[in-house]
Amino acid sequence: MSLSIVQSIPLITLAGPPNSGKTTLFNFLSGQNYKTVNYPGATVEYSISCFQTKFGLTANLLDSPGIVSLTPSSPDEKISIESLYAHPHLGTPDLIIATVDASQLSRHLLLARQLIESKFNVIIAITMADLLKKRGHELLVDELKKALGCEIVVVDGRTGSGIDILIAAIEKNIKTDHLKPEPLPYCCNLEIDRLIHSYNEIEIIERRVLREIPSNGDGAANLIKANKQLKILNQPETKSIKSHLPDKTTLNIDRYLLHRYWGLFFFFMIMAATFTSIFWLAAPFMNWIDALFGYLADLSLAAFGFSWFGDLIANGIISGAGSVLVFVPQILILFLILGLLEDTGYLARGAMLIDNPLSKIGLNGKSFVPMLSGFACAIPAILAARTIPNRRERLLTIFIIPLMSCSARLPVYALLIAFLIPADKPWLGGVSLAAIYIFSIVSSITIAGIANKLKNRIVKEEDNSSFILELPAYRKPQLKVVLINTYHSAKIYLKKAGPIILGFSIILWLLTYFPNVDPKIDTNNLSETEIIQLKNAERLSNSYAADLGKFIQPVMTPIGMDWRVGVSLIAAFAAREVFVSSLALIFKVTSDNETLQNSLLEAMHGAEIESTGKKLFTTSTIIGLIIFFVFALQCISTIAVSKKETGGWRIPILQLIAFTGTAYVLTFITVHGLRFLGVQ
């Protein structure tokens, strides 16, 4: 976008603390027709859109990351705050809509006052007024206008209440031909006396603008009693203290979900159900996609024949990409469930529950969200660690994030579990997948504990950590918004993984097809299918891939595998998903009127180690491969992002050596330990 266009179209930025209803309001104003971008020079994520046409506003609408004040406490917040003054792509905003939770005035008014003091053009959008009313209070909007000296509108981004008034206020404040305001820099090194003075002033304002709604009974007293039992941090009691209490429904739910013992039980049950659902619910969709790609491979062979070109289309492109795309339903379900958990407000509870265990290994609850994001992809998870103010904890979190079983591992786990589990018992696959994820969490925590003991050698940093978290009230999730976010997340995943998978599928096809393009075999008394299978085997044994495999064979022999698995493991360093497609290519899997996955599983069951004639894939070697993928750092992109975020090669190289070395040693122990116990 050129500078002239930026200047001609007004920029309206939404700003507010986390859980203030900012993104919900953005979704309503934009009609969920937005794109999420990382602008050059920034690592935080923005959503940008235009207003819905029905509002009649021509302006850019920007949803900035949540911040609590103009004083940054982490690198992520620093970038977000700097973008308010001069966005790296869109410049200075013409208007800022500051969202303020009516039930959290004492905390949320701080940012709004700082924006006003910095001479921004500000409209305050009051959200969660319904929660304030449930707690027995109402907001005197006119009094708040007088106290702050700016336009104030009460809105509900879920129902659209008050949006027309907000649009009218925006039209009144925005003029396309006026010069953009020049905000004053806010002092980043905020003195403690000034901060205390600001909160004292906000408390006075709060007492003036909140009025208790007369009611019968002693509900407020019961809420105060329950609040103390839950040990939730509040400000000292004032006349308006009741307005800060969570609503009764939230307290009743939290009595169980935040219980000292039952809370952890429910947490692990929810996590187990999440990952079991990924395997179980996706099965019908996976079968349909699998059959579709098998049908396409057959069509391509029928159309192009068994020439090099037909083999490239069927076995290089369709089979290679299809063997990975078949797992997209699992990835969609993962993003969907995580979105629902976040929208209801449970993820914040998960961070609170996990804070105490994480503190034992030198982390705190702020590490929970980046670690949980690692189940989707390590790259945004490492970027999310920027929200951790303490440098030592941030680097330690980045260090262990690659141990989280990201969605790229799902295709590998699903294939290996399918080899072990009978097809008529999918629930066993779900339990196995949940066990793998729990094992990865326990492993990461264990390694983090070891790294914490060695922290002075890894990171020399003063330990001044603290953990303060605002728990949002439980809300009914907006299914439409969750579905749209799930779609966008899956699309980003496919755009990232798709080109890599396709490129490596073609490279691997070239390695397995050449140079012995037309092998000579005795075709007497053989069917066409048998001729094709013999030609594939002869071609593969004399291919470039076989030459590469012979070079790495000494490394694979101790863990009970051969060069074919080794080549696939090397290919998986570009993207873990490629492991599945590379196996399909190396074993020259074709559909043969079956689904691609079933054909690959059949080939794996029949594969033998060429030098010994023993089965290549057994229960022990499959479990060994699972262990390898739990620990190994097989992602070049993760290494690059880790280097960028830690400021050097020290930690990424340590990750690569430590995790991959641990994976190899534990795979060796697993395979030979199981064989010693009689498991083959």
Question: What is the pLDDT at residue 125?
Answer: 92
pLDDT 10s digits, 631-652: 988 777 778 778 877 878 888 8
Residue 114 counted as domain residue: yes
For residue 177, what pLDDT band results from cuts at 50, 70 and 90? very low
**Tokens 């070395």 belong to which residue?**
661
Q: Kindly report the CATH number assigned to the domain that includes residue 99.
A: 3.40.50.300
Annotate 599-611 with b (16+ C-beta within 10 A) or e (fewer).
bbbebbeebebee
Kind of pairing between the strands at 95-101 and 122-127: parallel
Taking residues 205-228, what's their average pLDDT?
A: 63
Q: Which whole-number Å values give the CA distances from 247 to 97, 226, 344, 473, in the listed order?
A: 26, 11, 14, 7
Residue 13 counted as domain residue: yes
pLDDT 10s digits, 588-610: 665 544 566 777 888 888 888 87
Round to whole Å and give the CA distance between 439 and 443: 6
Mean pLDDT of the chain: 76
Domain count, the chain: 1
Question: What is the pLDDT at residue 40?
Answer: 39
Res. 187: pLDDT tops 60: no
Res. 668: pLDDT tops 90: yes
Taking residues 42-50, what's their average pLDDT?
A: 68
CB 438 within 8 A of CB 674: no
Res. 159: pLDDT tops 90: no
Question: What is the pLDDT at residue 664?
Answer: 93
- In sequence order, which ranges of 360-425 are alpha helices (DSSP H)? 368-373, 378-384, 391-400, 410-420
Residue 433 counted as domain residue: no
pLDDT 10s digits, 320-329: 677 667 667 8
Q: What one-character DSSP code corresponds to residue 66? A: P
Residue 434 counted as domain residue: no
Res. 239: pLDDT tops 60: no
Question: What is the pLDDT at residue 236?
Answer: 42
Res. 59: pLDDT tops 50: yes
pLDDT 10s digits, 102-129: 888 888 888 888 898 888 889 999 988 8
CB 432 within 8 A of CB 341: no
Task: Locate 133 and state its tokens.
Answer: 């009313």
pLDDT 10s digits, 66-104: 888 888 776 667 777 877 887 767 778 888 999 998 888
Query: Strand pairing partners for 11?
Result: 60
Instruction: Say which amino acid occupies 644.
Output: K
CB 270 within 8 A of CB 158: no
For residue 663, what pLDDT band results from cuts at 50, 70 and 90? very high
Instruction: Determine the angle formed by the axes of helices 426-453 and 262-280, rounding to 10 degrees.
Output: 130
Question: What is the pLDDT at residue 604?
Answer: 86
Question: What is the pLDDT at residue 234?
Answer: 41
Residue 53 counted as domain residue: yes
Question: What is the pLDDT at residue 498?
Answer: 67
Domain span at residue 221 reads 3-243
For residue 426, what pLDDT band results from cuts at 50, 70 and 90? low
Q: What one-character DSSP code corresponds to residue 557? A: G
- Give 403 or 347, the one with higher predicted confidence: 403
Taking residues 508-532, what's their average pLDDT?
A: 69
> What sign results for the dihedral spanned by CA atoms 283, 284, 285, 288?
positive
Residue 679 counted as domain residue: no
Res. 670: pLDDT tops 90: yes
CB 89 within 8 A of CB 203: no
Query: Strand pairing partners for 50?
Result: 60
Residue 214 counted as domain residue: yes
Res. 496: pLDDT tops 80: no
Whether the ω angle into residue 515 lies within 30 degrees of 0, i.e. cis, is yes
**Biggest distance spanned by C-alpha atoms of the chain:** 97
Residue 204 counted as domain residue: yes
